[in-house]
Each structure stands twice: as structure tokens, then as C-alpha cells.
Structure 1
């Protein structure tokens, strides 16, 4: 019997008509195997019985720039999982502690674990990185109307190529996988959402620190909740991306890049990991999308965490998905029933543990005089 801890966080708190990203995803011929991608082994930091190899490959040409990515592949001594895990990451660098986490995840789950680096390739266009790079690419779309410009397109394409190559690698090793679990944080979380909606090989996702589906409504919610946009998204504010979102070109952009557009293709199980103190989004941002998602969707709140989450919560979420997909055991579900009385509210948690064993139920609470929880402290009690 698998044991789980369920944490309960107390939270206060149109599809448009234009071209969509899936129409452009395969506009370029994407490499389907290691040979097509000109893949080369560049590092083999194998440890003991675990095989670890890193390959460098050509993924996609975007705006006449050839993208190169690194894919670290970790194979445990015994492979029993039918799904492999791909962590989507930024620059090609990692610590020994991070490597140990990936190794342990592969060992414990008897699964291939891979890390895709260089999402996005950067710096580009005179030194632009991260949100400055994405906001620049969005501004070029607004200027030109060219749907190839948003940098999320090559980010998704590179992730699709990594699945192609990992499948090819696994086959060459004499092993077999039937699908993938994707995970990544922030812009890589955004990429996780989009890739999952466009590739049926994705069997489960753990997006981290991207609590921003239904983007146009989210931006209005920020203005209502805080009175201004979060300083954390200033790259998009300063470029004017968020001005006049009713503009037809900007509506096309939002539809193109918003995972909410593709929500009906997100039927796979989803653990959505968010820090309660993430400065990017209001604490109740999920209310604008999570109930509209098909299939199993569970919010995993990391108490007192910012734009990121505790590693433990991420690895446990990934392991739970691996176990669920391989065994078919039902995932636990948590919902709340609420009722108002005498100016207050009564909240009753409803826990469906499925095939798991409930170890502990915790109620996390915090308070804020103005609804801004970015610097609040969450405390819990067992219930």
C-alpha cells in the first residue's frame, strides 16, 4: 500500500478564433532520431550501475538560428517503468546535488529520467535571456503578425525532439517506453503545458511555477487583486505586451501562447506545483482555470515557497504519476465544501484517498489585510 501525505492549503480568494501553435509545430521537419539530430555524446558522468550520458543535438532552426540542446539521460540498472521522465531546464549546468536527485528518482522508480537543457537557447538578439527574450519575440509577433516569432514555439519543438531522441535511445538500449512525464519550472513549466497539449505521447505533467493559464483573465485579475501588474512580469509590461489586450493582434498572440486555449487536449493527470508566496501570480490564480481542465488535476501548494517549490514536493509528484501510470492505481483527490455563517465561513475538506493510505491531513492558513500574500507566512495544524 502506497503512503501519501495530503496537504490542504487554505486559499482566499473564450476561446478566440486565430491560428494556434499546433498548426505550426511541425511546419519544420523535426528530427525523429539521433542520427537526424546529429546527436553526439559529450559527457558520460556514469556512477556505479547507473548509466548516465549527455548528448548534444540539433533541434530546430528558428529565425535562421540553429538551436542546440543537451539531453542528459539516466538509465537505472533495472528498467520497469513504461514511462520516462523529462525535466525541462534552462542553461546547460547542474550541481552534484541535482544530479543525485535525478539519479535517485530513476533508481526508486526504475524509470528513465532525462534532463533537457537549453530551453530556450540563449542569449539571443544581442544578449536577451529568459523573459526579456520571450517578451522580445512577442513584440516581433505584434509588429509582423508572423506566428513563427513567439519563442515558445521552438521551446515546444525542442521538447518534442527530445522525446523523439529519448525514445530512439531507449530502443537502441533494448528497452521500451510508451510515453513521457514532463516537468519544468516557470517558462519551462509554460513549455510543459503547451507540449502536453500537442503531443499525445505525454501521459502526465508536473508544471512548476506557472499558475497563469487563461492569460487575459489572469492579467485583469492581477490589476484587480494588486492594483497593478506584478513587478516580476515587468519584461512584458515594459515592452507594452500587456497594454490593450483587446487589440486583435494581441488577442491572436494570447490565444497562440496560452495553454488554456488547448485545455481540452490536457486530459492527462496533472500535478500543478505552485509556491504560496510566488510573486508572479495572485495566490488564487488557479481559480481562473483549474476547474476547466479535463481529467485529473491537483494543485500542489508549497507553503512559504516563492517562484519555485520544494524539491521534495516535485519529486513526490513525479513519482506518484509514474506509479499511477504504471499500475493504474487511483490518485487521491481533495476538494472543499464551504458555507458562510455570521460573517465567516466554514470549510469542510473532502478527501478521496483512492488506492492510497492517508497518513496525515494538514490545514495551512495565513492572513493578509489587503489580500497580498506574497510576504505572508503560512502555518499548519493537523486536522
Structure 2
């Protein structure tokens, strides 16, 4: 994850004058209210032709000992030219072909990894190199899947966008600003829409250039959300691996303030614009959720294999976020939580996940994925059923103190550091997830039963909280896990949502 200090400086650069100019620009660019609703807005936006769409083979080739990369240039669209500069979305698209690739693998999907470009020098066709972390990540995943082809689409979303006369923004700055447009009227101008369109256009290009017409889509953070959006509108997507992105936003916000007593510092771009605190009071909130939150069109991913990857120590999301949306996700679906991981955003983190993702894709293609099911009891205990794993681990961590249900590695205030050390990024806590191996099977108050596990750690002392989950491993690198449960089953700030008394940054 990029340093918070860098992002803070970008946000502060606009200053009050920048915010005033942005608000004035939004007024001048006011559009008529949208006539579409929900998923239809996404589908209409992605399907609409755009005269700016263009691509070319640069002729540049990247050499790696295990693969060759063909470098393409893509203009996916022109987005909000009356408000946003630059309006053209330019991308570098690299097709990776392993040296072990053969015609026998031509029916395998192409692993399409949607990635951001560098925040200081956006990736272009002329400065991307074979050693790039995002290219290496995609290549490693494709290798683990069985020498499949892979592709990396850079600069999604387009970075350094200038809304009106405000300062250029990146990532969450751009996304939150696009959400703020809904204060004017419900028009489909959220950043997620051009992100999905860029991905669909990249698939169009790979089809025209290399005859590829099926894809396994993966992305991190907001690009993880993009996996759901794109799969819902394009049947060429045959599997998705959304990484580090929770769905069902409205209850997620409620859960966050109940557990933390405020919003995590990582969400400051949204909090500084008053979105999380006040958006639910706006007239366009339900319209916004229906379009942008993939939770509201999960039914469109029926029969699509999904591997949802979470981070146990995510800077944005509570570790037990799956309980708010996993039951509504249609089969087939699997989950994996990365222990001791902050928010997952970059290629180095994805490379570490290559054995898990590659094994998942290979097993899905051969229809050999094992069963893993679980339930969380009212006591917080986890019951799980799994098909012949080679190893089972219990992962658990204890909250920093008895004030917040906080399992992050960094909290906001360095001067308030009850169980860690101050650092440039805030309080570096000593919250660590540790594992222990479990026997072949275990049940409460009963004999062992093959294929079933039950666990409920004791509540920690001093009024703190304990988070835990079960991880299962199979030969070939596949690892899956249950959702995270937290005990005791209480929250420290039950009256927080909507009170306005505890919704700052923590």
C-alpha cells in the first residue's frame, strides 16, 4: 500500500480553495438526472460505443527467462470531457505468453490482471519492463495455473485526474470525488463505470490481437470490486479472483464504527468529503448503491467460480466483514484470508499469492476444487467441513486493547499507542496473527469425525477481543479458509452509527 503521508499531501494540496473550485465545477457541469437504475446503468455505460476507443501493437517485446511479453497501447474511452482532464483513458496492455505454452492450452482462459500504474510515473508502453512487479505477478499466477497465458492492464483507474480546477487526484481521491458528484444528481458518473469499460475494452483488444475469448479476471482493492462489475456484464469472464474488497457497503460502514468507534485512517479521502458520515442522508444514496455496489447484482454471477481473497489486518475493512455478504454470494465460491497482511494492492503481494490463485484456476478448469463449507454459531464458534485437506491451521489474534475491536497493524494516532510503537504512519501495533496445527478432525463433546472441524477459542483476558479463522491446505499450493469470527460477541461502540460522536478517523 502506498504511504499514507504521500496520499495525505496530495489531498491537502488542493486546500480549501481547491475544494471550492471543485464544487463550482460540479455546479457548472450539472447533468440531467439519470433515467437508468441499478445494474442497467453499468450495462448501458459499458456497452455504449465510444469513438475514442483505439489500440495498436507497439512492436515492443519484453523478454523474461520464462515468458515473452507483447506490449500494446490502448485508449479505452473518453470520460467526462466537460469536467475531467485528461478525458482520454490511456493504458498499456501486455500479453504474456509462457515459453511452455502450447496449442493444447489454447482453451484455457487468459489470466487478466487489472493493475494500477505507478503513482509517480504512470506506466507507458515505453517504460514498462519485464521486471515490473505487476507483470511478474501475472506471469507467476499463469505459471502456477499450468503455463496459461496472462495479460496485465495498467492504469485502471486512470490516475492524476483533475476534476474541474481542483488538484490532480489518484486512486481513492478520484473515486471519492466521483462519488461526490451524486450530490448534484443521480447520473452514472462514478469511477467504477469507466474502470469496467476499460477492462471490457482490454478483452476486446486481446480477442482481436490474439484470438483470446475467455478470461480469468483478478484485481486488488477497487480493482477487486471491478472483477464483480465486469463479470456481471461480460460472459467472457469465466472466473474471478477479487482481492481485498468487501461488498455490501452500507452495513460495512455500520460495522466499522461499531468495532472501531470511527473510520479507519485509510478512508480519510471519503471521510474528508463527508461521504461516509452523511451520504446516507442524501437523496441519491440508494441509487448510488444500486449502481456501484456489486452486492446488489450478485445474482448475475451465478455459476461463475469465485475465489475471494481478504487480508486479516486490512487497513480499510474489518476482519469479520464476510459475515455481511458471503451468504448471499451464489455458488461456486471459495474464500482465502491472508494472515498478517495489510490491505493488498500491489504486484509483490499478488506474487506471494500466485500458488493459491494458480492452483485455484487449474482446479476450477479441471473441475477438481475441494469442498469447504462452514458456519458460525451464535457463540462465535466455527464449524467447518472440508474434503481431505493435507493440513488444517487455526489462525488467531488478540485486539490491541479493550477499547477498540482493532486488528490492524497501524492505527491513526501515533501519540495514542497502548500496545505498540509510534511511527511515521501512526501507531504500529503489536497485533500479530499466530497459527497452530489442528488434528485431522475435531468436534465439541464428541468423537472425532472425518472431514469436520469445530473451534471456539477462549475469550481473552482484560476485556479484549480474539479474532480467528480456520485455514485448509491441499497439495499443489491450494489454500482456502473460513470467514473470520470474533469473540466475545460484543462490540465496543454499539451506539456509534449515526450518532456523529465517534465517526472521525482512528
- After superposition, residues 192-207 of structure 1 pair within 5 angstroms as 192-207=227-242
Which of 68, 75, 79 is the matching residue for 1:51?
A: 68
Please report how far the alpha carbon of residue 184 of structure 1 lies from its aligned counterpart in structure 2 after TM superposition.
0.9
Which of 194, 197, 205 is the matching residue for 1:157?
A: 197
Residue number in structure 1 paired with 2:48: 28
Residue number in structure 1 paired with 2:358: 319
| Unpaired stretches in structure 2, ≥5 consecutive residues | 1-35, 82-86, 118-122, 410-430, 439-506
How many angstroms apart in 2 are the aligned matches of 1:222 and 1:266? 27
Residue number in structure 1 paired with 2:391: 360
SS of match in other structure, 1:45: strand
| Paired positions, count | 349
Residue number in structure 1 paired with 2:386: 351
SS of match in other structure, 1:46: strand
Residue number in structure 2 paired with 1:255: 290
How many angstroms apart in 2 are the aligned matches of 1:339 and 1:254? 29
SS of match in other structure, 2:182: helix
Relative to 1, partners in 2 of residues 1:94 and 1:372: Cα closer, same or farther, differing over 3 Å?
Answer: farther
SS of match in other structure, 1:39: strand
Which of 291, 296, 318 is the matching residue for 1:282?
A: 318
| Unpaired stretches in structure 1, ≥5 consecutive residues | 1-16, 172-176
- After superposition, residues 86-125 of structure 1 pair within 5 angstroms as 86-91=112-117, 92=123, 96=131, 98=133, 99-108=135-144, 109-125=146-162
Which of 131, 135, 154 is the matching residue for 2:172?
A: 131
Q: CA RMSD in A?
A: 2.5
Moved >4 Å (runs of 4+)? 336-340
Relative to 1, partners in 2 of residues 1:238 and 1:49: Cα closer, same or farther, differing over 3 Å?
Answer: closer
1:18 aligns with 2:37: yes
CA contact (8 A) 1:40 1:57 kept: no
How many angstroms apart in 2 are the aligned matches of 1:115 and 1:29? 23
Relative to 1, partners in 2 of residues 1:248 and 1:282: Cα closer, same or farther, differing over 3 Å?
Answer: same
Q: Which has the larger radius of gyration?
A: 2
Residue number in structure 2 paired with 1:5: none
Residue number in structure 1 paired with 2:187: 146
CA contact (8 A) 1:88 1:116 kept: yes
Please report how far the alpha carbon of residue 380 of structure 1 lies from its aligned counterpart in structure 2 after TM superposition.
0.4
Please report how far the alpha carbon of residue 233 of structure 1 lies from its aligned counterpart in structure 2 after TM superposition.
1.1
Per-residue Cα deviation, 1:63-95 (whole angstroms, up to 9, x for no partner): 121211111110123241521101110112567
Relative to 1, partners in 2 of residues 1:53 and 1:276: Cα closer, same or farther, differing over 3 Å?
Answer: same
CA contact (8 A) 1:222 1:281 kept: yes
SS of match in other structure, 1:366: strand
Residue number in structure 2 paired with 1:185: 220
Residue number in structure 1 paired with 2:98: 76
Relative to 1, partners in 2 of residues 1:228 and 1:105: Cα closer, same or farther, differing over 3 Å?
Answer: closer
How many angstroms apart in 2 are the aligned matches of 1:327 and 1:297? 16
Relative to 1, partners in 2 of residues 1:144 and 1:101: Cα closer, same or farther, differing over 3 Å?
Answer: closer
How many angstroms apart in 1 are the aligned matches of 2:115 and 2:156? 6
SS of match in other structure, 1:279: coil
CA contact (8 A) 2:374 2:382 kept: no
1:382 aligns with 2:413: no
Please report how far the alpha carbon of residue 365 of structure 1 lies from its aligned counterpart in structure 2 after TM superposition.
1.1
Greater alpha carbon shift after TM alignment, 239-248 vs 200-209: 239-248
**TM-score, scaled to structure 2:** 0.64
Please report how far the alpha carbon of residue 296 of structure 1 lies from its aligned counterpart in structure 2 after TM superposition.
2.1
How many angstroms apart in 2 are the aligned matches of 1:260 and 1:94? 37
Relative to 1, partners in 2 of residues 1:136 and 1:97: Cα closer, same or farther, differing over 3 Å?
Answer: closer
CA contact (8 A) 1:54 1:70 kept: yes
Residue number in structure 2 paired with 1:11: none
Relative to 1, partners in 2 of residues 1:122 and 1:131: Cα closer, same or farther, differing over 3 Å?
Answer: same
Which of 52, 57, 61 is the matching residue for 2:78?
A: 61
How many angstroms apart in 2 are the aligned matches of 1:94 and 1:214? 38
SS of match in other structure, 1:224: helix
Please report how far the alpha carbon of residue 257 of structure 1 lies from its aligned counterpart in structure 2 after TM superposition.
0.7
